[in-house]
Amino acid sequence: MKLGDGVEAAIHCAAMLAGVDGDGTLPGNAMAEAFGLSPSYLLKHLKALTAAKVLESVPGPSGGYRLARPAEQITLLDIVLAIEGREPAFRCGEIRQKGSHALDPSAYVKPCGINVAMLKAERAYRMALAGTRLSDIVTDFTENTDQRIVAASCAFVAQNQRPQNSRTRMKG
Amino acid sequence: MKLGDGVEAAIHCAAMLAGVDGDGTLPGNAMAEAFGLSPSYLLKHLKALTAAKVLESVPGPSGGYRLARPAEQITLLDIVLAIEGREPAFRCGEIRQKGSHALDPSAYVKPCGINVAMLKAERAYRMALAGTRLSDIVTDFTENTDQRIVAASCAFVAQNQRPQNSRTRMKG
DNA sequence: GTAGTGTTACTCGGATAAATATTGTCCGAGTGACATCGG
DNA sequence: CCGATGTCACTCGGACAATATTTATCCGAGTAACACTAC
């Protein structure tokens, strides 16, 4: 029951990407530096988010990552599933029919009650994650966070974002 | 986000232990054989359950394991926490202040909103687990399972349980 | 026949290897920007 | 001065090690039953 460490990084990056203007992008390298992570490792997770259609990637200079859809349409569940995989945490190994006194397979047509209970709990977990949109995270961040952090984050985004439409970045 | 494989075994064992008479015990060896698991490995998890006060262990011949309290007072959450550990799956590494442009620590007094959201979801998960008692599992098992399985399980328990009060087991 | 005693076999408990998943790193493919060259 | 072109640097993407966690195993400590002996 240990959630991968990359989930935290993924959500932070997604929240930061929600702050870029228009369809501009933010390089993974900049985000890694912003959060003190090894760039190569963060790329691994950003790649997973891209494969899950949560982010879009733009190659080449002035490339980077961008949200694949508005922050209102991205939930924490999307991000968690993209990083941790879509299959449930509890996988029933059907050990009830693995024992030495196994019965005829026809006896095991009904699902294992333990599996049902565990999956029910996990469904509650996913429901709670699905109920939190990325835009909620951003709103809560801008409202209930020390304004120094908000200002610093906005400044960082403004300085590192790469506009995509016919404009080059200004340096320094 | 992968739940340990021992959780399934632990719940099955606990449900089986709920079927022993009085304060009789069931050896871990028998349960391992019943579910086709390696005995030495199952002992590890049973030990964890014992340390968490979910089970009680009786050493010596005619010893074994027994529920530490009635099945109505044991929830799936107790078992899961005993096996997987009590700390939450999502651990906030506070990467927001690990970056290169870290601010004064006084800016980070308010908790990270992402951490709050994740912990809220996990609380929902634990609430669902806490809402399912071991007695519910047993009831659902006896009512909504093929009676061949129920009969086989009861027979196995009756044959392998060790009465604890001044009576020795009858063999064969 | 009954009580005491020593042995034995069975139990759980902790410490120790193997396997797997996660974490971390590196190198290669692709692309747009920049400088250079020609008109 | 303007446009085309070649080079370059920066990006993401996938393949490759190191570490941590989980899984599996073995051996030792403890205890109650059993057999034996003495009374």
Confidence of residue A4 (pLDDT cuts 50, 70, 90): confident
Give the per-residue pLDDT at B46: 97
Instruction: Give the nucleotide at minimum CA-to-C1' distance from B63.
Output: C11
What pLDDT is attached to residue A165? 62
Q: Tell me: the pLDDT tens digits for A140-166?
A: 999 999 999 999 999 999 999 998 764
> In this structure, is the dihedral angle defined by the CA atoms of residues B127, B7, B3 and A119, taken in order, positive or negative?
negative
Locus of tokens 């990325």: A134
What's the rounded Cα separation, in Å, for the pair A6 and A42?
A: 8
Residue B78 Cα to chain centre, angstroms: 6
* Contact flag, residue A43 CB and nucleic strand C, below 7 A: yes
List the single protein residue with the shortest CA to C1' distance from C26. Answer: A40
- In contact, A39 and A28? CB cutoff 8 Å: yes
**How many angstroms separate the CA of B16 from the C1' of D31?**
25
Q: Do B117 and A95 touch (CB under 8 A)?
A: no
- Contact map slice: B 64-93 vs A, CB within 8 A: 76, 80, 84-85, 89-93
* SS3 per-residue string spanning chain B: CECCCHHHHHHHHHHHHCCCCCCCEECHHHHHHHHCCCHHHHHHHHHHHHHCCCEEEECCCCCEEEECCCHHHCEHHHHHHHHHCCCCCCCCCCHHHCCCCCCCHHHHCCCCHHHHHHHHHHHHHHHHHHCCEHHHHHHHHHHCCCHHHHHHHHHHHHHHCECCCCCCCCCC
Contact between B95 and A12 using a beta-carbon 8 Å cutoff: yes
Strand C contacts in A 72-111 (CB under 7 A): 84
- The arithmetic mean of pLDDT across residues A102-124, rounded, is 95
Three-state SS at A113: helix
B24 and B162 Cβ atoms separated by less than 8 Å: yes
State whether residue A64 is helix, strand or coil.
strand
The span from the CA of B133 to the CA of B74, in Å, is: 6
Q: Is the CB of A159 under 7 A from strand D?
A: no
Do the beta carbons of residue A50 and residue A56 sit within 8 Å? yes
In sequence order, the β-bridge partners of residue B26 are B65
pLDDT reading at A126 higher than 50 = yes
**Range A101-127 average pLDDT:** 94
Exposure b/e, A127-153, CB count within 10 A at least 16 = b? ebbeebbbbbbbebbeeebeeebeebb
What does DSSP assign to residue A169?
Answer: P
B95 touches strand C (CB under 7 A): no
Q: Is the overall model pTM greater than 0.95, yes or no?
A: no
- Mean pLDDT (chain A) is 92
For the record, the structure tokens of A1 come out as: 């029951």
A28-35 vs A6-17: helix axis angle to the nearest 10?
120
DSSP E strands, A7-61: 55-58
Dist. CA B129–CA A123, nearest whole Å = 11
Select the residue of A33, A92, A137 nearest B114 (Cβ to Cβ).
A137
**CB proximity A137–strand C (7 Å threshold):** no
Condensed to tens digits (0 to 9), the pLDDT of residues A103-112 reads: 999 999 999 9
Asked if the Cβ of residue A60 lies within 7 A of any atom of strand C, the reply is yes
* pLDDT value, residue A159: 94
Per-residue pLDDT at B79: 97
Residue B167, pLDDT score: 40
Which residues of B fall within a CB distance of 8 Å from A8? 90, 92-93, 95, 114
Q: How far apart are CA B84 and CA B74, in angstroms?
A: 16
Residue of B125, B149, B156, B160 best to disrupt the A interface, most CBs of A under 10 A? B125
User: What is d(CA A16, CA A8) in angstroms, rounded to the nearest whole number?
Assistant: 12
- Residues β-bridged to residue B57: B65
User: Which pLDDT does position A33 carry in this prediction?
Assistant: 93
Q: How far apart are CA A136 and CA B118, in angstroms?
A: 13
pLDDT in tens, A33-60: 999 999 999 999 999 999 999 999 999 9
Q: Which residues of B touch A101 (CB under 8 A)?
A: 34, 152, 156
Tell me the shortest Cα–Cα distance from A17 to chain B, in angstroms: 14
pLDDT score recorded for residue B165: 62
- DSSP 3-state assignment of A158? helix
Nearest residue to A82 (alpha-carbon basis) of A14, A157, A1, A161: A14
Q: What pLDDT was estimated at residue A5?
A: 87
Walk along chain B (172 residues) and give the pLDDT tens digit of each residue: 778 889 999 999 999 999 999 889 999 999 999 999 999 999 999 999 999 999 999 999 889 999 999 999 999 999 999 999 999 999 999 999 988 888 999 999 999 999 999 999 999 999 999 999 999 999 999 999 999 999 999 999 999 999 876 443 333 3
- Residues A142 and A135: their CA atoms lie apart, in Å, by 11
The reply to whether B170 touches chain A by the CB within 8 Å rule is no
